[in-house]
Homo-oligomer: A and B are copies of this chain.
Amino acid sequence: MATIYQVSELAGVSLATVSRVMNNNTKVSDKTKQKVLKAMAELGYQPNSIAQSLASNRSNSVGVLVSELHGPFFGDMMSAIEDTLRLEGKHTIITSGHSDEERERASIEFLIGRKCDALILHAEAVTDEYLLELEVRGIEFVLINRYIQQIENRCIRLDNKQGGYLATQHLIKLGHQKLAYISGPKWKQDAQERLQGHKQALADAKIEFDDALCFEGDYQQSSGAKGLDWLYEHAPQFTCVVCANDEMASGVMTRARQLGIDVPSELSVVGFDNIIYASYLYPTLTTIDYPIYEMGKMAAKYILKQVYEKKNLDIKSVFVPKLEVRDSSIECA
């Protein structure tokens, strides 16, 4: 592998000059620039990015933390980030935290150790204090789907409460009066917010919230099934169920079928996230659209603007969810 030294030799200039044409930040006369370019081409020169990083204290890579590497939600998020960053020649290092405090922290520290210029974090388990500490340490980062007031400009988020509201309101408008709810893990911020939205919608419609109609799931498919069973045990009269994500909604539909309950004629189901599979299910799932691709892109743009000094990028931090009506929800019989 050719080094900058060989290029400089072949071109008959100094190292510094070669470096200058590579980074073209300083003026270099056209004539020498051509010489250098020619030499580089001739040698098939590729700068050593490790050396560049060490010398410049810039790694040109941004670290990403997701909960899981699989799953449609994080897949879209990663795609969005990588697509956006790649266009600017930045690299993406992805790690997963598995919604576990210890592992999230380890992943973040790893990314910092790798000298990422910035981090994009979908951090669920780590404390606010830790995140605030990161800022104190001078780490550049942006949060996806998490809100911390003190650093709210670093938070790219969806109005989850509004989403929960929309889902529930939709069913109420269809005439449902007994609504069951399957929540995400209550320690997760988004799960709380979605549930709040649900409660708000009930309140606005003068329907009383009933604990027996609310099950706490874990956002996994299987807990949709578990939740439905639990609900039928505790409160058999509901006519619909709103789920805090699509996976659980899918679990509900599957379980309902096993129980011989028809969706939607006997039970309306609404999800949340609008993952790609929501439209492949039968019946197709009414859900709340989570523009995760757009949000991932925005997070990347935030970094490009703040860290890599790209100007002219408009940053928007709060995204609005939209109701996506499909076949799984109909008027109350």
Q: Closest approach, in angstroms, between the C-beta of A87 and any C-beta of chain B?
A: 12
By the criterion CB–CB under 8 Å, are A69 and B59 in contact? no
Cα-based distance from A280 to B69 in the complex (angstroms): 20
Cα-based distance from A254 to B257 in the complex (angstroms): 17
Complex contacts, A92 vs chain B, CB 8 Å: 93-95
Cα-based distance from A51 to B70 in the complex (angstroms): 32
Q: Point out the residue from B91, B257, B276, B280 that lies within 8 Å of A93, measured CB to CB.
A: B91
Q: Closest approach, in angstroms, between the C-beta of A233 and any C-beta of chain B?
A: 23
Q: Which stretch, A73-81, A156-164, A210-218, touches the partner chain B?
A: A73-81
Complex contacts, A257 vs chain B, CB 8 Å: 282
By the criterion CB–CB under 8 Å, are A70 and B59 in contact? no
Quick check: is A114 within 8 A (CB to CB) of the other chain? yes
By the criterion CB–CB under 8 Å, are B280 and A113 in contact? no
Q: Point out the residue from B75, B113, B115 that lies within 8 Å of A75, measured CB to CB.
A: B75
Quick check: is A48 within 8 A (CB to CB) of the other chain? yes
Known A49-B114, A50-B59: A75·B82 in contact at CB below 8 Å: no
Complex contacts, A75 vs chain B, CB 8 Å: 68-71, 74-75
Within the oligomer, what is the number of copies of this chain?
2
Q: Closest approach, in angstroms, between the C-beta of A262 and any C-beta of chain B?
A: 12
Complex contacts, A76 vs chain B, CB 8 Å: 70
Cα-based distance from A102 to B53 in the complex (angstroms): 26
Cα-based distance from A79 to B94 in the complex (angstroms): 11
Q: Point out the residue from B47, B115, B254, B281 that lies within 8 Å of A50, measured CB to CB.
A: B115
Q: Closest approach, in angstroms, between the C-beta of A100 and any C-beta of chain B?
A: 13
By the criterion CB–CB under 8 Å, are A79 and B72 in contact? no
Which of chain A's residues 34-93 have a Cβ closer than 8 Å to chain B? 46-51, 53-54, 59, 61, 68-72, 74-76, 78-79, 82, 86, 91-93
- Residues on A lying within 8 angstroms of B by beta carbon are 46-51, 53-54, 59, 61, 68-72, 74-76, 78-79, 82, 86, 91-96, 109-110, 113-115, 221, 250, 253-254, 257, 276-277, 280-282
Contacts A/B (CB < 8 Å), 13 sampled: A48-B115, A50-B115, A54-B54, A69-B78, A70-B75, A74-B75, A75-B75, A82-B94, A82-B95, A93-B93, A277-B277, A280-B281, A282-B282
